[in-house]
Structure 1
Amino acid sequence: MIYLDYAASTPMSEEALAVYVESAKKYFGNASSLHDIGTAANELLTICRKQIAQLVSGEEKGIYFTSGGTEANVLAIRSLAYAHRHKGKHIITSSVEHASVHAVCAQLEQEGFTVTYVPVDRFGQVDMKALERALTEETILVSIQHANSEIGTIQPLKQIGELLKKKQIVFHSDCVQTFGKIPIDVKQFHLDSISISSHKIYGPKGVGAVYMNPRVRWHMSLPNTTHEGGFRPGTVNVPGIASFTTAALEAENKRNTVQQHMNELRRYFVEQITQKQLPITVFEHPTDQLPQIVGCLVHGFEGQYVMLHCNRHGIAISTGSACQVGKQAPSKTMIAIGKEEDEAKQFIRLSFGVRTTKNDVETVVSVLEQLQKERMST
């Protein structure tokens, strides 16, 4: 089967898998235990913490490991909101965030916080003027994703960070789709907190991390938590974290080569559908685009039908974020960029990975072309 859903999840790399197996054998101890086996596990954890921190230009003591990107978003946002509520109860996020961010913001609204969802332009990029207008003396936290998981638009984090730093407002970003793909510098972007995940970069599922600026206050989500400095309860997944770190280092080493390949695949896809004059609209920002995520409208068909048609032909694509699968509502990103509901339901997402080839692209274009021909003949 041709797999074109890398934005949802990736297969583990051979190196990450080997490290997981070896770590599970040798470092099975609880990293909080005081005996030698526990100490060995903790020492490995310390190395991983340092290496992950270096990849985002952060500090070792700012890394807290989690069960993945969703938990990282939830814990980061809740812990920051409650730590700073003495200053105000206003939070700002965007209309195109991941479902986990919208969910925790909705929960905080029920708990007495006020949330503003700033709009985006037709490319899916945050309206900076709207963001600045939304800031008040009560604003304590802004959470803006680094790149959209459905269309791959990259947000101007540095510009946002500079604005928020002047106003001394805490800045969090969901960097799950960008970590290991494009540079993330928490200091240059003035980020106080970010969320990252393992299974988006060829590491194991069930592992992620939050980077929290050590100089920024955060509130313990569950009282008397001892693991991860009180940030997250539960025994730390040392083998998973070692494997995640391996995958992250591997992604960083290959980043330039891989991204060049992603750009080539994207250009080739656009060239192919243009040459064949297929009624498909590809969404992309002119300059700030994550190339491996290709969001499209296949005019005349609902996205679910296109996805099932591709699946019958041995191609795996999606109709948006995997966290929204099964919901009948149209893509929130499509609605946010101004599409009507019926048009938004025509959305599909292709996402490329290291194993994707030009032949794979040709095959999916051929299948999409066949779909159009079938429609014309009926």
Structure 2
Amino acid sequence: MKYFDYAATCPLDREAAEIYIKAATEYYGNTSSLHDTGGQAKELLENCRSEIAQLLGVQKEGIYFTSGGSESNFLAIQSLLSTNLKTGKHIITSMAEHSSITSIMKKLIKEHLYEVTVLPLNPAGQIDIDEVKNAIRKDTILISIQHGNPEIGTLQPLEKIGRLCIENQILFHSDCIHTFGKTDIKQVAQVADSISISGHKFYGPKGIGAVYIHPRLNWQGYYPATTHEKGFRPGTVNVPAIAAMTVAAQKAGKYLNDHHSHYLRLRGAFLQVLEPIRKHYIVYHADASEQLPSTIGMRIKGIEGQLLMLECNRYGFAISTGSACQTGMQLPSKTMEALGITGKSAKEFIRISFGWETTVNDVQLLGNLIVKIVQDTCQS
């Protein structure tokens, strides 16, 4: 099977896997235990915290480890809302956020705790900064905008949004789960009050993630009487997974530029193969400087995305119809809806995403298959 769904999850890097085993067998103590075995695990944990902080360009005191991206987003939002930095009951977010964010917003609305303004994407798949300005109210206390769209790979103007937040004393959270390990997010970490990452998106283990919350904020823990991670979340800290995620993060950071160039080559090669059916498809993207080249979100006109995905799977190619968290619900892509694309057109969406192991030959084979499927469909 040729795998083209790296935006959903990545295989565990071999070096990270070796570190996982070593940590699980040699640093198995509970980090809260006061004996030497617990102390050794605690030392490894704090070294990992320092490394993740360095990769983000932030203070290690603001790093908290979680069970993954969804929990990271949930606890980050709850923590920011607990700070009482500013009085207000209004939040701004986007239509294309991950389900872990949208579910929080629905919960807050249902409980009549906050009003939420949800912004669409412009034709380039980005948040319009003027829309953000117009949405800000005197009682706006939080803005939550993802850094990179997981379905089409567009990057949002977070530095501009961050400056607006500072000017208006608004807290700012960004879901960086799709971008960490694929592009440098240090500038984002400088303007955001909190960001979230997830290990399995950059060749780390599943079930592990992290949150950065600016140490200046005096947040309150969502779970009462919790001691782990300074009260951020309950549960024994998963040191082996944290160590493995840290190794994967270091490796992703080390080869960031090489991987970016590789993805650009793959993207160009794939789209070149599709030239014979150019009039049949639409790729949704931003300018190259504001786009992750490893993620291609597109529609093949007249062919439902799920049918194309199944046909590709039949021939040994794994592609997707969007965010894995939406798969099986048979709902249109949230990104398509955010772009104003509805009905049958929205269900034509497919996503193709590359990894470190993907080759030019791989993408050419997939491209040729899609061309054949489209041409056969048009002739029938």
Q: TM-score, normalised by structure 1?
A: 0.97
Q: CA deviation at 1:188?
A: 6.6
Q: 1:157, 1:67 → 2: CA distance?
A: 25
Q: 1:343, 1:103 → 2: CA distance?
A: 25
Q: CA deviation at 1:257?
A: 0.2
Q: 2:71, 2:185 → 1: CA distance?
A: 20
Q: CA deviation at 1:272?
A: 1.4
Structure 1 residue runs of 5 or longer lacking an equivalent are: none
SS in 2 for 1:281: strand
Q: 1:157, 1:65 → 2: CA distance?
A: 23
Q: Which one of 297, 321, 325 corresponds to residue 323 of structure 2?
A: 321
Contact 1:157 1:189 in 2 (8 A): no
| Correspondence list, 1:60-209, <5 A | 60-84=60-84, 87-111=87-111, 112-185=113-186, 189-209=190-210
Contact 1:81 1:89 in 2 (8 A): no
Q: 2:294, 2:234 → 1: CA distance?
A: 34
- The residue aligned with 1:372 is 374
- The residue aligned with 1:251 is 252
Structure 2 residue runs of 5 or longer lacking an equivalent are: none
Q: CA deviation at 1:99?
A: 1.1
SS in 1 for 2:191: coil
Please, what is the CA RMSD of the aligned residues?
1.3
Q: CA deviation at 1:276?
A: 4.9
Q: Which runs of 4+ in 1 moved over 3 A?
A: 186-189, 275-278
- The residue aligned with 2:21 is 21
Q: 2:264, 2:114 → 1: CA distance?
A: 41
Q: CA deviation at 1:219?
A: 2.1
Q: CA deviation at 1:278?
A: 6.1
Q: 2:223, 2:94 → 1: CA distance?
A: 27
Contact 1:335 1:341 in 2 (8 A): no
- CA change 1:279–1:91 in 2 (3 A) is same
- CA change 1:85–1:325 in 2 (3 A) is farther
SS in 2 for 1:211: strand
Q: CA deviation at 1:189?
A: 4.1
Q: 1:339, 1:223 → 2: CA distance?
A: 43
SS in 1 for 2:92: strand
- The residue aligned with 1:225 is 226
SS in 2 for 1:181: coil
- The residue aligned with 2:298 is 296
Q: 2:86, 2:176 → 1: CA distance?
A: 27
Contact 2:125 2:284 in 1 (8 A): no
1:347 pairs with 2:349: yes
- CA change 1:299–1:187 in 2 (3 A) is closer
Contact 1:8 1:200 in 2 (8 A): yes
Which is further off, 322-331 or 270-279? 270-279
Contact 1:278 1:369 in 2 (8 A): no
Q: CA deviation at 1:165?
A: 0.7
| Correspondence list, 1:241-280, <5 A | 241-277=242-278, 279-280=280-281
Contact 1:158 1:188 in 2 (8 A): no
Contact 2:83 2:217 in 1 (8 A): no
Q: 2:60, 2:29 → 1: CA distance?
A: 22
State the AA in 2 paired with 1:130. E
SS in 1 for 2:201: coil
Q: 2:366, 2:39 → 1: CA distance?
A: 50
Contact 1:318 1:348 in 2 (8 A): yes
Q: CA deviation at 1:190?
A: 1.2
Q: List per-residue Cα deviations over 1:23-62 (Å, max 9, x = no partner).
A: 1111111111111111100000000000000111100010
1:55 pairs with 2:55: yes
Q: CA deviation at 1:284?
A: 1.1
- CA change 1:126–1:218 in 2 (3 A) is same
Identity of aligned residues (%): 49
Q: 1:372, 1:106 → 2: CA distance?
A: 39
- The residue aligned with 1:2 is 2
Which is further off, 216-225 or 48-57? 216-225
Contact 1:162 1:189 in 2 (8 A): no
Contact 1:58 1:187 in 2 (8 A): no
| Correspondence list, 1:30-41, <5 A | 30-41=30-41
- CA change 1:69–1:131 in 2 (3 A) is same
Q: List per-residue Cα deviations over 1:213-244 (Å, max 9, x = no partner).
A: 00013221110010000001100000000000
Q: CA deviation at 1:275?
A: 4.3
Q: TM-score, normalised by structure 2?
A: 0.97
- CA change 1:277–1:170 in 2 (3 A) is closer
- The residue aligned with 1:46 is 46
Q: 1:186, 1:231 → 2: CA distance?
A: 25
